[in-house]
Structure formats: C-alpha cells, structure tokens
Structure 1
C-alpha cells in the first residue's frame, strides 16, 4: 500500500471529525493524491450529477491527475439513533482498500455531539462499489471536453495542497 493511502486515511478521519463536531455537517467527500503528493478534495454533492455521470467524472479526474490513491466518504444512516461516517481509501497498486467507520451521536436537536474513533480495517478492493475509478474510462470527445471544463471551473473552489511524506 502506498504511503499516501495510509496518510490519507488518517487525514480524512480528522477532516470528518472536524466537520461533524466543529461545523455540524457531514458531506459526501472525494479526494485523490497523485504521485507527487498533490491532493485535491471536494464535496461530491456539489457536482449535482446522476450516479453514472458522477462515476465517469470521478474516473476522469483520477486518471487525468494520475492518482495513486483516492478516498470517498459519506454519512450512513442505519436508523434514527444509529449513524456512521464511513470512508474507503483505494490504492492503485493494492488489492485491499482501507475502510474506516465511526459512530456518530446526535443530541435531541439532531446536532452532532460525539464521534467514536474511526475503526480501520482492510477489505478486498473489489468489494468497494466505487473501487473501479482506476479502470480506463471511454469518453466521447465532447464528454471529455465537458469534464475538463467542469474540472477547470471547480479547481479554484476545491482544497488543493501538497501532502508531506
């Protein structure tokens, strides 16, 4: 597993903890890291796309930036009293993914007030529904231009930084 993948798992756990407990929000997050350590992070809901188009776009971004790993996270509501924040980190060269989950506690006003530590496990990459973003995506020339334009439009609004090793 690439060192960036392990670091990404630690960072996403901290990021979600800060968002949930500090700001009361739990967005669907997507982030990737390339071989030079450039990291991009954005909220998936901001895309406002259908599932298939969203998957194509995310694959386009992963491939255009030559990602070595990426992560996707979300809130999972099992019932009113049991909610989890879950994310998985997919490494390009590893058959296993890092899967992390923490239980979220809310108060009577539905505000997040507690989050357990993220439990980290390894799972076969093929069992993660969004693990195929490294697979070559075939896009029409128009669709590729559309995605390139969307990415250029998004770039100033997303978190971009260089990960330290």
Structure 2
C-alpha cells in the first residue's frame, strides 16, 4: 500500500472528527492524492449528480490527476440510534483497501456529541461499492469537456494542498 494511502486514512479520520464534532456536519467526502503529493478534497454532495454520473466524474478526475490513492466517506444510518461514519481508502496498485468506521452518537436534539475511534480493516478493493473508480471509463468528447470545465471551476473552491515530503 502506498504511503499516501496510510496517511490519507489518518487524515480523513481526523477531518471527519473535526467537522462532525466541531461543526455538526457529516458530509460525503472525496479526496485523492497523485504521485506528486497533490491532494484535492471536496464534498460529493456539492456535485449534485446522479450516482452513475458522479462515479464517472470521480473516475475522470482520478485518471486526469493520475491518482495513486483516493478516499470516499459518508454517514451510514442503521437506525436512529445507530449511526456510523465510514470511509474507504483505495490504492491504485493494491488489491486491498482500508475501510474505516466509527460510531456517531447524537443527543436528543440530533446534534453529534461523540465519535468513537475509527477502526481500520483491510478488505478486498473489489468488495467496496466505489472501489472501481480506477477502472477505465469511456466518455464522449462532450462529457469529457463538461467534466473538465466542472473540475476547473471546482478547483478554485476546494481544498488543495501538497502531501509531498
């Protein structure tokens, strides 16, 4: 597993802890890191796309940035009393992925008040619903142009930093 993948797992866990407990929000998050250590992080809900198009877009930016690792996270609601924040970190060159899960506790007003430690588990990448984003995607020239334009517009508004050592 790439060093960036291990670091990404730690960072996404801390990111969720800060945003959930500090701001009360539990967004669907996506982040990728390329071989140069450039990291991009944004909220998936901001895309306002259907799931299939969303996956195409994410695959497009993974390929455009030659991502070595990506992570995707979300809130999982089993029932009102049992909620989890889960994310997976997928490495380009590894058949395994890191899946992390932490239990979220809310008060009577439905505000987050506690988040357990994230438990890490290694699973087969192809067992994850969104573990296929490295697979080549065939897009029309028009769709590529739309995605390129959207990505350029997004880049000015999302977290971009270098993880390079």
Is residue 145 of structure 2 the alignment partner of residue 126 of structure 1?
no
Q: TM-score, normalised by structure 1?
A: 0.99
Number of equivalences: 165
Deviations 1:6-60 (A, max 9, x none): 0000000000000000000000000000000000000000000011110000000
Runs of 4+ in 1 over 2 A off after TM superposition: none
State the partner residue of 1:147. Answer: 147
1:9 paired residue number: 9
1:69 is displaced (CA, Å) by 0.5
Partner of 2:25: 25
RMSD of aligned Cα (Å): 0.6
CA distance in 2, matches of 1:101, 1:51: 22
Alignment partner, residue 59 of structure 2: 59
In the alignment, the residues of structure 1 paired with residue 26 and residue 158 of structure 2 have an alpha-carbon distance, to the nearest angstrom, of 16
Secondary structure of the residue aligned to 1:157 is: coil
Q: In 2, Cα distance between the equivalents of 1:3 and 1:89? A: 12
Q: Per the alignment, in what secondary structure is the counterpart of residue 132 of structure 1?
A: coil
Residues 42-92 of structure 1, C-alpha deviation per residue, up to 9 Å, x if partnerless?
000000001111000000000000000000000000000000000000000
Partner of 1:160: 160
- Structure 2-normalised TM-score? 0.99
Residues 36 and 164 in structure 2, CA contact (< 8 A), matched pair in contact too:
no
Question: Which secondary structure state, in structure 2, belongs to the residue aligned with residue 131 of structure 1?
Answer: coil
Deviation at 1:136, TM superposition (A): 1.0
Find the aligned partners of 1:25 and 1:54 in 2 and give their Cα distance.
21
